[in-house]
Structure 1
Amino acid sequence: MIQVIQAQNVGLAYLEERFNLQLAENDAFFTEWLEKLSEITVLEKQSLDKVKFHFLRLVKHPPLSEETVKLVVLSPILSLAGFYDEPFLIRSEQSIEISADDEGEVVRGRINILIIQEQLWLLVIESKKPSFSVLGAIPQALTYMLANPNPKKPVFGLVTNGSHFTFLKLAQEIINQYAMSDEFTLLKRENELYKVLSVLKKLSEILS
């Protein structure tokens, strides 16, 4: 009998054991969030300042849902990064199913936002409500990334709860390796959405 496991209940230890997943030890594995980041304009900064203001205003009036985070924070940032334009396509609530060989278990879930180009998975985005830990959502995002039907190229991920953002990279080879960026947060005086957008614009450039 096949045991069905929901992706939101999966932990890193499970992924390491079942899917041969390892944290990359080489700092050169994931430099896309660090090196030669794209410049953002004054107008883009003004737009991001509004995003931050709107989100922090809404936080004062809980509860906030995942849908609110996607509407208020993710949608304008993805637009500024160019992911609504050619050659990208956006899919929401994409169902996935993944299983390890001979384990008798299937992991199922639904990707919040998936960005593709000619059916190739490029960027997996997992959005959570503000009360949810970004760290706790990383295994779920990695599960979705492991379900990539075209694993020959690395796939990137972004996990956010509206106030915190972490980027991921996964390369599927004999050993599946992943790495995480530093965490960006809106709870600083500096608007770290500038950095988030810079990374997204860099990804849109190298993936297009």
Structure 2
Amino acid sequence: MVQFIQAQNIGLAYLEERFGLQLAEDEVFFTEWFDNLPEITDLEKQYLDRVKLHFLRLVKRPPLSEETVKLVVLSLLLNLAGFYDKPFYLRGEQSIEISAEDEGEVIRGKIDILVIQEQFWLLVIESKRSSFSLLEAVPQALVYMLANPIEDKHTFGLVMNGSHFIFLNLIKQNIPKYALSDEFTLLKRKSELDQVLSVLKNLSQILS
């Protein structure tokens, strides 16, 4: 009998055991989040300052829902990074299923936002409520990225809770491997939102 498991209940140990997922130790595996990043314009910095201002005002009245996080923070970042333009197509919540060979288990879940180009999954974004730890979202995002049917292309991801951001990179091939970026936050005196936007712009240029 097939057992169905919800993606939000999956941990890294399960993915390592069932799918052979490995953390890439080589820094060269994921340089897209820090190497040769595009510049952020003064106008873009002004927009990002307003995003921080709006988020900090809204977070005073918790809880801040996923939908509000996407509306206030994520929407502008995707727009400025070019993910609303050709050749990208933005889709909302999408259902996925993934199963390990001969395990009799199927993982089910829904991706909050999926950026698609020519039917390939390019950027998976899982937004969590502002009070959630990003470490809780990383395994779930990796489940979605493992569901990508393309074996030989990198899939990039972003987990965020409105104030903190972590980028992911995964490639399946024979042995699925992944890597994480440093964690960025807008809560520092000098917000790191400009770095988040710069990474997103870099990914949009690479993937287009």
Is this a same-fold pair by TM over 0.5? yes
Q: CA–CA distance in 2 between the matches of 1:15 and 1:155?
A: 16
- Aligned match of 2:67: 67
Matched, 1:86 2:100: no
Partner SS for 1:175: coil
Matched, 1:2 2:5: no
Deviation string, structure 1 residues 94-143 (Cα, Å, up to 9, x no partner)? 10000000001000000001111010110000000001111110000000
Task: Give the TM-score normalised by the residue count of structure 1.
Answer: 0.99
Task: Give the TM-score normalised by the residue count of structure 2.
Answer: 0.99
Q: CA–CA distance in 2 between the matches of 1:98 and 1:169?
A: 18
Following superposition of structure 1 onto structure 2, how do residues 84-163 of structure 1 map, counting pairs within 5 Å?
Answer: 84-163=84-163
CA RMSD of aligned residues (A): 0.6
Following superposition of structure 1 onto structure 2, how do residues 147-186 of structure 1 map, counting pairs within 5 Å?
Answer: 147-186=147-186
Q: CA–CA distance in 2 between the matches of 1:100 and 1:22?
A: 15
Q: CA deviation at 1:28?
A: 0.4
Q: CA–CA distance in 1 between the matches of 2:93 and 2:135?
A: 21
Partner SS for 1:39: coil
Q: CA deviation at 1:191?
A: 1.4
Give structure 1 stretches of 5+ with no counterpart: none
Q: CA deviation at 1:151?
A: 2.5
Corresponding pairs, count: 208
Q: CA deviation at 1:152?
A: 2.0
Matched, 1:198 2:198: yes
The ranges of structure 1 where at least 4 consecutive aligned residues each deviate by more than 4 angstroms after the TM superposition are: none
Partner SS for 1:170: strand
Q: CA–CA distance in 2 between the matches of 1:94 and 1:40?
A: 31
Q: CA–CA distance in 1 between the matches of 2:128 and 2:175?
A: 29
Letter of the structure 2 residue corresponding to residue 43 of structure 1: L
Letter of the structure 2 residue corresponding to residue 49 of structure 1: D
Q: CA deviation at 1:149?
A: 1.6
Q: CA–CA distance in 2 between the matches of 1:40 and 1:199?
A: 10
Identity %: 73
Q: CA–CA distance in 1 between the matches of 2:174 and 2:118?
A: 25
Q: CA deviation at 1:63?
A: 1.5
Letter of the structure 2 residue corresponding to residue 126 of structure 1: E
Q: CA–CA distance in 2 between the matches of 1:87 and 1:136?
A: 31
